[in-house]
Amino acid sequence: MQQISNAIPSTPEASGAARATSGGPVAPAERIAALDVLRGFALLGILVLNIESFSGPSSLHDVPIGVAKPAFVGWHATLDLVIFATKWLFFEGKMRTLFSILYGAGIVLITSRLESRGLSGKAADIFCRRNQWLLLFGVIHGTLIWQGDILSQYALIALLVAFPFRNLSAPRLIVIGLLVGVIGGTVGVVRVVDIPQVLKAERLRDEGAAALAVGRAPSPEQRAAIEAETKANAAAPANLQRSIAQGRRPYLQSLSSQASAYLGFVTMLFRSGWILEVTGSMLLGMGLFKSGFLTGAKPRATYLKTALICYGVAAPIILTGVAMVAAKGFTVPSVARWIYQPYALQIFAGAIANASMILLAVKSGWFRGATAALANVGRTAFSNYILTSLLCQFLFAWGPWKLYGALEYYQQIYVILGVWAVNLVVSALWLRAFTYGPLEWIWRSLVYWRRQPIRRLA
């Protein structure tokens, strides 16, 4: 760090000249507002699902099965179902996918700007340093703060895959991105959830139960399936309490398990192939940026039509799935069959639909105050991402409240709204005095190996 130069241009003109000759980061006036709004929207939306990992253990990813406070029971059963359906219709997977799309767009944006300044020779160097530092930040975040880090995934895919694809045409990037994301993502989810085995076990249990009902002895396979389920159900309460106790451990005591869980998470993504969902999202983002879609360059009618088509794909899949699993009592096999088998298709459709609606709002001038607030969060997305992890970990695990496993499903919404308020207020206040978020400033200074100006000029 001591090698970072203190020489900073003292005027906007000098700063612009320095960037043009040294390949420095983009000036605030050069930012694309639509991308900032989308990034802020995605950053806030990610918490709607991440809160379930922060707040307590569960048996399935982002489905409240095997949680400490049972969902879909008591007076709040209908409320829980509405929240669950809303999360899956507009947020689950879609915000993560949109965030990945925007990271892919950033790859094209940064490299193309460098090349347009006559700095093609530096583009690869800056690109690699940018992602190598992000990889380090992601590993630190994943091992020391929260195991669900996504920054390291972005950095790895960018370094391994994205750079050579940047010069492909927009249509090719869009097609390749969708194919890789939907097909690879589907394969990954099927392997992670082990859908074939889950459905096979369900079939064997049902056949065994039917045999017993008519007085016949189940087959050895059927009996084994029944016994395995009985054993798992008997062990579930003790395992749940153990998980809650582990989740409430003080910071230093949780470090080893935190690091182990993060490494296991990353290994699972690559081993299962689920990382292809992220890869496809980033390639798709590169194509959508090149096409002008993500910058708001398309006519308003294009965004409206795209939203209607993509919601028309995603909504029936999701709402049918929710209705079917609710009718089945939210069993694991029903979730595997109706929610996770079509997962990748609906999250890509939903992410594009959400982006279309936000871009339509930006182009139309609707809700100017809201889009300006989202842009503030988007300009400080890196800092807000880490801040959100720190706030949630302190609230649920490290702080005095120890709320891990203590909230009802619907009560998670209170925490989401509180953290959003912090993100929105802190971002607005910070940007009154500074050009970049604090972590964005550190990242840029490290990438360009020169201390970047951070204070706003009067």
Residues 290-329 pLDDT 10s: 999 999 999 999 999 999 999 999 999 999 999 999 999 9
Residue 453 located in a structural domain: no
pLDDT at 30: 74
Residue 397 located in a structural domain: yes
Q: Give CA–CA dist 385/194, Å, rounded.
A: 30
Residue 458 located in a structural domain: no
Averaged pLDDT, groups of 10, the chain, 458 residues long: 30 39 62 95 98 95 95 97 98 98 96 84 91 98 97 96 92 98 97 97 96 95 96 96 96 96 97 97 98 97 98 98 97 97 98 98 94 98 98 97 97 98 98 96 95 86
117-131 as b/e, with b when 16 or more CB fall inside 10 Å? bebeebbeebbeebb
Residue 455 located in a structural domain: no
pLDDT at 7: 29
pLDDT at 273: 96
pLDDT at 2: 30
Q: pLDDT tens across 88-121, in order?
A: 999 999 999 999 999 999 999 999 988 888 777 7
Q: pLDDT tens across 242-286, in order?
A: 999 999 999 999 999 999 999 999 999 999 999 999 999 999 999
Q: Give CA–CA dist 224/197, Å, rounded.
A: 13
Nearest partner of 247 among 71, 387, 51, 403, judged by Cα: 403
pTM: 0.93
pLDDT at 458: 57
pLDDT at 120: 75
Total domains present in the chain: 1
Domain span at 389: 12-448
Residue 360 located in a structural domain: yes
Residue 383 located in a structural domain: yes
Residue 456 located in a structural domain: no
pLDDT at 211: 96
Q: Give CA–CA dist 262/139, Å, rounded.
A: 8
Q: Give CA–CA dist 47/256, Å, rounded.
A: 24
Residue 4 located in a structural domain: no
pLDDT at 23: 56
Nearest partner of 135 among 157, 102, 114, judged by Cα: 157
